[in-house]
Amino acid sequence: MIFSNTLIYWYLQNNRELPWRKTKNPYFIWLSEIMLQQTRVAQGLSYYQKFTTDFPTVFNLANADESTVLKMWQGLGYYSRARNLHFSAKQIANELNGEFPSTYKEIIKLKGIGDYTASAIASICFNEPTAVLDGNVYRVLSRYYGIDTPINSSAGIKEFKTLAQSLIDETQPGTYNQAIMDFGALHCKPQNPLCETCPFSDSCVAFEKKLTKELPVKEKKIKVRKRYFNFLVIKTDNDTTILSERKGKGIWQGLYQFPLIESNKVINKDELILSEEFINLFPLETTISLFNPKEIVHKLSHQHLYTQFWIVETANSAETTIKWSEIEKYPVPILIANFLEAFQAEK
DNA sequence: AACCCGTGGGG
DNA sequence: TCCCCAAGGGT
Q: Please name each of the domains of chain A with its CATH number.
A: 3-214 (1.10.340.30), 225-346 (3.90.79.10)
Q: Where are the beta strands (DSSP E) in A160-236?
A: 225-235
How many of the other CB atoms lie within 10 Å of CB of A304? Answer: 14
**Between A221 and A52, residue with greater pLDDT:** A52
Q: Which residues make up the interface with nucleic strand B when CB must lie under 7 A?
A: A 38-40, 42-43, 75-80, 153-154, 191-192, 220, 222-223, 225, 249-253, 298-303, 333-335
Helix, coil or strand: residue A123: helix
Tell me the torsion sign for CA atoms A262, A264, A266, A271.
Answer: negative
Q: How confident is the model at residue A257 (pLDDT cuts 50, 70, 90)?
A: very high
- Residue A286: its pLDDT value, please? 82
**Please, what is the Cα angle at A239 between A236 and A242, to 5 degrees?**
65
Nearest CA to the C1' of B11 belongs to which residue?
A191
A181 touches strand C (CB under 7 A): yes
Instruction: List, in sequence order, every residue forming a beta bridge with A96; answer none if it has no partner.
Output: none
CA of A127 to C1' of B11 (A): 39
**Between A275 and A237, residue with greater pLDDT:** A275
Amino acid, res. A26: P
A345: Cα separation from own chain's centroid: 28
A44 touches strand C (CB under 7 A): no
Instruction: List, in sequence order, every residue forming a beta bridge with A296; answer none if it has no partner.
Output: A307
- Residue A316: its pLDDT value, please? 64
A5 touches strand C (CB under 7 A): no
Average pLDDT over residues A295-312: 96
* CA neighbor of A258 nearest in space, from A280, A284, A297, A230: A230
What is the spatial distance between Cα A295 and Cα A307, in angstroms, rounded to a whole number?
5
Nearest CA to the C1' of B7 belongs to which residue?
A77
pLDDT at A318 over 70: no
Q: Which of A175-189, A278-292, A294-308 has the lowest mean pLDDT?
A: A278-292
Residues A243 and A258: beta-carbon distance below 8 Å: yes
- Residue A11: its pLDDT value, please? 96
- Residue A239: its pLDDT value, please? 85
Nucleotide with C1' nearest the A192 CA: B11
A227 touches strand C (CB under 7 A): no
**Is A33 in the active site?**
yes
User: Which residues in chain A, range 265-324, keep a C-beta under 7 Å from any nucleic strand C atom?
Assistant: 297, 299, 301, 304, 306
Burial of A12 (0-12, 13-18, 19+ CB in 10 A): exposed
- Residue A317: its pLDDT value, please? 62
What is the spatial distance between Cα A227 and Cα A307, in angstroms, rounded to a whole number?
8
CA of A252 to C1' of B7 (A): 12
CA of A101 to C1' of C1 (A): 46
Q: How confident is the model at residue A37 (pLDDT cuts 50, 70, 90)?
A: very high
What is the spatial distance between Cα A164 and Cα A180, in angstroms, rounded to a whole number?
10
- Residue A51: its pLDDT value, please? 98
How many of the other CB atoms lie within 10 Å of CB of A5? Answer: 11
pLDDT at A320 over 70: no
Residue among A33, A106, A313, A328 flagged as catalytic: A33
**Between A69 and A240, residue with greater pLDDT:** A69
The percent of residues above 90 in pLDDT, for chain A, comes to: 89
Q: How many CA atoms lie within 13 A of A343 on its CB side?
A: 20
Average pLDDT over residues A309-336: 88
What is the spatial distance between Cα A234 and Cα A309, in angstroms, rounded to a whole number?
10
- Residue A253: its pLDDT value, please? 97
Contacts of A104 (CB under 8 A, 6+ apart): A118, A119, A122, A128, A130
Q: Which helix (H) or strand (E) holds A289?
A: strand A287-290
A32 touches strand C (CB under 7 A): yes
pLDDT tens-digit profile of A5-16?
999 999 999 999
- Average model confidence (pLDDT) for chain A? 94
DSSP string covering A206-224: HHHTT-GGG-S----PPPP
CA of A283 to C1' of C10 (A): 41
* CA neighbor of A316 nearest in space, from A278, A283, A279, A273: A283
How many of the other CB atoms lie within 10 Å of CB of A201? Answer: 12
- Residue A321: its pLDDT value, please? 81
Helix, coil or strand: residue A106: helix
Contacts of A199 (CB under 8 A, 6+ apart): A6, A9, A10
What is the spatial distance between Cα A203 and Cα A194, in angstroms, rounded to a whole number?
15
Residues A293 and A283: beta-carbon distance below 8 Å: no
Instruction: List, in sequence order, every residue forming a beta bridge with A295; answer none if it has no partner.
Output: none
* CA neighbor of A233 nearest in space, from A305, A272, A289, A315: A289
- Residue A220: its pLDDT value, please? 79
Average pLDDT over residues A117-129: 98
pLDDT at A326 over 90: yes
